[in-house]
Amino acid sequence: MDRTRALAVAAAFVLACCALAWWSERQKSGIGPLHNPTDFVAFYCAAQVAAGGADPYLAEPLRSCERAAFARSRVAMVPHLVVPAPLPGYDLALLAPLARVPFRLACVIWACGIFASFGLTAWLLVRLTRVRPAYVCAALVGSDLYASLVPGQLVPFVVAALAACGWCLTHARPRVAAGCAVAMLVEPNIGLPVVLSLALWVPRARWTLGLGATALAGLSLAFLGVGTNAEYFARVLPVQAATEGLEFSRQYGLSALLHALGLAPGLALAFGSASYVLAAAVGAGVARRAATGLGAVAALAFVPAAAALVGGTYGHIAQMAAAIPLALLLCARGGRSLPYAVAATCCLAVPWQAVVTSPWIAGLFPARGYVDPGPLLARVGAGSRLAQDAWAAWIATTIDRDHRTVLEVALFKLPTWGALGGLCLLVWRTIVRAERKFPV
């Protein structure tokens, strides 16, 4: 099967799965990008709260802001629930201008930004890989657009910055590429390995990387102050990892898997953190050899971004879109690895979490009971309580994870995990073959 036919079959498969996911969300009809973007409302309100001088990481006044925002969309929020915004201070500072806009208009602006980021990513990757636009869009529409559009996530902006970084590296613009890598730090777990890779292998990018990182740190300090920034690192990140990071039904990280298999939370988080550090270091360390083997300098950014998704303490299905550029780069290379690269692209391109919740599949796993979250949420007071405390109470009583066993949940995650592992093997195979052909 030639590359065109393989990609056409893959595109048809991905679009069918995305159609199923879209239909599933239409049936649930409780979440959407313009009236109920559950993640964006937290970002919006946290920026608004911080701009007003309050602590954006506490349950109040974040809960009150979210309730008021949803009321404008005529959405009834779960009583006492608060959706946390575990974003660094510079993210909230960058979102502050948008938080001054009325909520419904801000939702429209955010959705337009996601569509624009998707379009920019597709255009850049077509230029970089020479893969047909229809196939690139098929690879991105579910993972990069749909999976982030519905909840209002940040990931499409990060993937667009990643594609722009690869394009700038290809066209010998290292300083602009460094600026794009710094922009990726809005999602620090994805952006850090790319920044490290450029610092190691692109000397002309180092000053820009240093200045950019310093600017973000200064922005955080100026916007939140020293105490709130210290609280973010000392309290918010550990609590967020210990609550949502260990929720296996929603997470793709190593910590959640180990905890689901019975490992103690502390050990699961420690192993997840160690796996992230190892994957990020290896991804950045082999990036130059991968770029040489692939004959594509864009791999200096694409390889570490994909490596950042392997293991770790925290990983949503939407973040898997950051591996699509590397998958398409491998598809463009062709050769004997093409079927494996196409298969990996297919598996990454499908938002499996949404597919699994479709009535046809979810109906196979009847609920084993319902626990009312109201009483537990009511006991989580305001005061100095973090927003994550209420979110942890919500997770503790949700019925999603009671529908399926650990093995069943793991089986639904296997396509994504297998795709990431397959990309790692393909990159390593490329490196080994190149070094055998041209020994140093």
Question: CA-CA distances (angstroms) from residue 166 to 2, 117, 140, 145, 318?
Answer: 26, 15, 16, 20, 20
Residues 6+ apart with CB under 8 A from 416: 252, 317, 320, 347, 348, 352
Q: Residue range 326-348: average pLDDT?
A: 89
* Helices (runs of H) and strands (runs of E) counted in the chain: 23, 0
- The residue type of 197 is S
pLDDT at residue 358 greater than cutoff 70: no
Alpha helix (H) ranges present in 232-286?
Answer: 237-243, 254-260, 265-285
How far is residue 15 CA from its own chain's centroid? 21
The conformational region for residue 381 under phi > 0 = left, psi -120 to 50 = alpha, else beta, is beta
Tell me the percentage of the chain whose pLDDT exceeds 90: 48
Whole-angstrom Cα distance, residue 73 to residue 103?
8
Residue with more model confidence, 104 or 220:
220
How many CB atoms are located within 10 Å of the residue 437 CB?
8
How many CB atoms are located within 10 Å of the residue 214 CB?
11
Q: What angle do CA 180, 185, 188 make, to 5 degrees?
A: 145
- Kindly provide the residue ranges of all beta strands, DSSP E only, lying in 60-211, ordered along the sequence: none
Least confident residue range of 3-17, 182-196, 306-320, 360-374: 360-374
How many CB atoms are located within 10 Å of the residue 308 CB?
28
Alpha helix (H) ranges present in 174-316?
Answer: 174-183, 188-201, 206-231, 237-243, 254-260, 265-285, 287-294, 299-307
pTM: 0.90
Whole-angstrom Cα distance, residue 416 to residue 419?
5
437, 352, 362: which is closest to 403 by C-alpha?
362
Task: Give the confidence band of 29 by pLDDT, cuts at 50, 70, 90.
Answer: very low
Whole-angstrom Cα distance, residue 257 to residue 358?
23
* Token pair of 205 as six digits: 């990018």
* Token pair of 324 as six digits: 């699509």
Question: CA-CA distances (angstroms) from residue 133 to 136, 137, 237, 310, 402?
Answer: 5, 6, 39, 28, 41
Q: Residue range 45-61: average pLDDT?
A: 92
DSSP 339-392: HHHHHHHHHHHS-HHHHHTSHHHHTTS-------SHHHHHTS-STT-BHHHHHH
Predicted local distance difference test score (pLDDT) of residue 28: 47
pLDDT per residue as tens digits for the range 173-214 = 999 999 999 999 999 999 999 999 999 999 999 999 999 999
Question: CA-CA distances (angstroms) from residue 155 to 188, 189, 384, 388?
Answer: 11, 11, 30, 21
* Token pair of 134 as six digits: 């229809």
Q: Residue range 246-272: average pLDDT?
A: 90
- The residue type of 164 is A
Residue with more model confidence, 194 or 22:
194
Longest Cα–Cα distance of the chain, Å, equals: 67
Residue with more model confidence, 75 or 341:
341
Question: CA-CA distances (angstroms) from residue 219 to 51, 86, 91, 98, 227?
Answer: 13, 17, 9, 16, 14
Whole-angstrom Cα distance, residue 425 to residue 35?
42
Residue with more model confidence, 28 or 65:
65
Task: Give the confidence band of 367 by pLDDT, cuts at 50, 70, 90.
Answer: low
